[in-house]
Chains A and B, each alone.
Chain A
Amino acid sequence: MSDAPDYMSSPDVLGHFGEFGGRFVPEALMPACLELEVAFRDAWSDQTFIDEYQRVLREFAGRPTPITPLPRISAALGIRLFAKREDLAHTGSHKINNVVGQTLLTKRMGKQRVIAETGAGQHGVATATAAARFGMACTVFMGEVDTERQSLNVFRMELLGAKVVPVTSGSRTLKDAVNEAMREWVTCVDDTHYCIGSVMGPHPFPLMVREFQSIIGTESAFQLNELGVACPDLVVACVGGGSNAAGVFAGFANTTARLIGVEAAGGSAVGKGSPGVLHGMKSYLIQDEFGQIEEASSISAGLDYPGIGPEHAHLAKSGRAEYVAIGDDEVLDALKVLSELEGIIPALETAHAVAWILKEAGRSIPSGATVLLNLSGRGDKDVAQVREILRGTA
């Protein structure tokens, strides 16, 4: 059917996904956004660049990541569950896919330095890693609260040669780290690229980050086929800004698969938010009755963000993808189930997606359904926190 809707294709010329997205930035940053858009489109249609990006992911980042059937949970739930193992990628999550793409692009644009925001530290560590690999200076902005909660990740970034700047403005968490990175970018836009960590920000970031993450979906579709699964019935991923979800959804957007994005209950921009403008984009935001942005709150720092990428807002509004929320208490149980039954300790972010599958199997997930879980990250970074909570000392 040639007139069937084409989901997750290109946004319009100004970067709109439906009514969302666009560019809401200080004029000082507009030339950089326009330059980046041109550079990205040029690179992404250049086979030499694509080959280099794929080679680095293969040789340095450990791609392709496998798909692992999860037989014991499958048997317990009466479904066929497969996990796409982004936890096995270098630095422990899908974040590396995006930073490899953006770092190569930074080099191609002739810029010498990258800056990044980070919440829990995953994107910061990934950016510091790629910057080290390609010999670039790297500065990471991290909310002061998060530098205390995730001091080991601060040390990791420093080991990798990056400078970590604790952000003391506002709520001193991820949203303020984004504000501070934007403020920094205004002052150094000539020689510095802002490596945004999710499918958010002004155009072309949401498109570009989705494209760099779509390797998750492309590989998954191919690998499932090899396992005899023509198309899964459901594809499930956790969503903060939404980059791992966008990456895996991209492989299945124009199939019959149900696409499920699982937000943290305390950071549920689709569930609790309303349309607004923040960090360069129009999307769903958690905000008060006056339009002041509210702080998200979640057990998982990576989902602790009051917004969501604009393409997800569009997928939600158009009904192509469904967005659900999982509370903190359900997350710990899910982490334990995956650890004990399958020998995989997931990141707390990922555990949200696991929790939804555990909860909905036999309900909105029909018996016998084939389900693809994007296992976006490993739980090593969360082990200390989980221990404290389980021992009741947190």
Chain B
Amino acid sequence: MKSLETSLRELRATGRKALVPYFVAGATSDWVRHVEAAVLAGADAVEIGIPFSDPMLDGVVIQNASLRALELGTTIDSIATDLSSIATSVPLIAMTYYNLLYHYGLERVAGKLRECGVVGAIVPDLTVEEAGEWRAAADASDVATIFLVAPSTPPERVALVTSASEGFCYASSRMAVTGSATDSVDVTRVVKRVRDCSDLPTYVGIGISTPQQARAAVNVSDGVIVGSALVRVIHEGGGAREIEQFIGSFRNALDAAGGES
């Protein structure tokens, strides 16, 4: 079992619901301090978004943050350098599009990411069918590969996707790109489909923008991923203090929910 999965299974065993914030790496010059603030406020793992020019699964908030990061010269190497100064022990998970990994060289990039503390990767345009070469490279460096299950994923494909996924399984709350949701949806069905096939920790993302939604999601799942809502706080000028407040409100909601179950 890879390091990430060991950590996340241990976390679940304690009864704590996982809070996983997402940051666009390099969107501001002090983004690493933002990550540290989130961990201080109760994040259990952190998604590090590596900005890509053509983010197909991302809505306008993350598109714009990615564009800013690219304008600031953000690259995989610059992110690795930034992360070398990070003072945190929670698992870091890269989230990016396949072309950046492919272009860097799969073995090289897996090694590079692992060196700076990244123990997992979410690559939303990499399907299970196409993931063979990446998996081999990631395996060699103890980087877990996390796959997504969508509400449209039929049960037989859920079995395929969850059996390929490592660390946790990412359940998308809705048929949408990131950051586009305003309403609340019931995630019971998609989470149940995952649970029926797998005992991996299951985290819900895409469409979690408020502590209330997070609380509802962890009533049936093991954690939540909060992306665009947090990226928006930073875009609006929020610094470490605002991030701590924002993450803290989610932490409280999850702890309250965890206490109920």
B70 on the A face (CB < 8 A)? yes
Shortest A234–chain B CB gap in Å is 34
Q: CB-CB < 8 A to A190: which residues of B? A: 152
B80 on the A face (CB < 8 A)? no
A165 on the B face (CB < 8 A)? no
Please tell me if the beta carbons of B129 and A290 are within 8 angstroms of each other in the complex: no
Please tell me if the beta carbons of A287 and B177 are within 8 angstroms of each other in the complex: no
Q: CB-CB < 8 A to B130: which residues of A? A: 14, 22-24
A189 on the B face (CB < 8 A)? yes
List the B residue with the shortest CB-CB distance to A14: B129
A31 on the B face (CB < 8 A)? yes
Select the residue from B104, B150, B172 with max chain A CB neighbours within 10 A.
B150
Shortest A169–chain B CB gap in Å is 5
Please tell me if the beta carbons of A187 and B176 are within 8 angstroms of each other in the complex: yes
A30 and B129 CA atoms in complex are apart in Å by 10
A42 on the B face (CB < 8 A)? no
Chain B residue total in the interface (Cβ 8 A): 41
Select the stretch in A48-56, A86-94, A274-282 that faces chain B.
A274-282
A183 and B124 CA atoms in complex are apart in Å by 13
Select the stretch in B17-25, B53-61, B231-239 that faces chain A.
B53-61
Which of B67, B99, B150 is within 8 Å of A28, CB to CB? B150
B246 on the A face (CB < 8 A)? no
Q: CB-CB < 8 A to B53: which residues of A? A: 170, 292-293
Please tell me if the beta carbons of B59 and A291 are within 8 angstroms of each other in the complex: no
Q: CB-CB < 8 A to B125: which residues of A? A: 24-26, 277, 280
Given A23-B127, A292-B70, the answer on whether A30 and B100 have CB atoms closer than 8 Å is no
A308 on the B face (CB < 8 A)? no
Please tell me if the beta carbons of A24 and B177 are within 8 angstroms of each other in the complex: no
Please tell me if the beta carbons of A25 and B52 are within 8 angstroms of each other in the complex: no
B126 on the A face (CB < 8 A)? yes
Select the residue from A188, A189, A292 with max chain B CB neighbours within 10 A.
A292
A187 and B176 CA atoms in complex are apart in Å by 5
Select the stretch in B84-92, B153-161, B210-218 that faces chain A.
B153-161
Please tell me if the beta carbons of A276 and B161 are within 8 angstroms of each other in the complex: no
Q: Mask for B143-170, Cβ within 8 A of A = 1, else 0?
A: 0000111111110010001000000000
A129 and B100 CA atoms in complex are apart in Å by 38
Please tell me if the beta carbons of B56 and A183 are within 8 angstroms of each other in the complex: yes
A27 and B153 CA atoms in complex are apart in Å by 7
A179 and B177 CA atoms in complex are apart in Å by 11
B198 on the A face (CB < 8 A)? no
List the B residue with the shortest CB-CB distance to A202: B127
Please tell me if the beta carbons of B129 and A28 are within 8 angstroms of each other in the complex: no
A14 and B128 CA atoms in complex are apart in Å by 11
Which of B67, B102, B161 is within 8 Å of A27, CB to CB? B161
Which of B52, B102, B175 is within 8 Å of A189, CB to CB? B175
Given A30-B153, A170-B67, the answer on whether A291 and B104 have CB atoms closer than 8 Å is yes
Which of A22, A170, A188, A189 is within 8 Å of B54, CB to CB? A170
Which of B76, B103, B161 is within 8 Å of A287, CB to CB? B103
B63 on the A face (CB < 8 A)? yes
Which of A29, A277, A287 is within 8 Å of B98, CB to CB? A277
Please tell me if the beta carbons of B129 and A186 are within 8 angstroms of each other in the complex: no
Given A31-B153, A276-B103, the answer on whether A290 and B148 have CB atoms closer than 8 Å is no
Q: CB-CB < 8 A to A182: which residues of B? A: 56
Q: CB-CB < 8 A to A187: which residues of B? A: 175-177, 180
Q: Which of A304-341 contact B (CB under 8 A)?
A: none
Which of A14, A186, A292 is within 8 Å of B176, CB to CB? A186
A175 on the B face (CB < 8 A)? yes
Q: CB-CB < 8 A to A28: which residues of B? A: 148, 150-153, 172, 175
A291 and B76 CA atoms in complex are apart in Å by 10
Q: Which of A321-380 contact B (CB under 8 A)?
A: none
Shortest A166–chain B CB gap in Å is 14
B249 on the A face (CB < 8 A)? no
Shortest A20–chain B CB gap in Å is 12
A32 on the B face (CB < 8 A)? yes
Select the residue from A27, A278, A280, A285 with max chain B CB neighbours within 10 A.
A27
Given A170-B67, A287-B99, 8 new contacts (CB under 8 A): A14-B129, A27-B148, A170-B63, A176-B54, A278-B54, A290-B75, A290-B100, A291-B100
Would you mind naming 12 contact pairs between A and B with Cβ atoms under 8 Å apart?
A22-B129, A27-B153, A176-B54, A186-B176, A187-B175, A190-B152, A274-B103, A287-B99, A290-B100, A290-B103, A292-B100, A293-B54
Chain A residues in the interface with B (C-beta under 8 A): 14, 22-32, 169-170, 175-176, 179, 182-183, 186-190, 274-280, 285, 287, 290-293
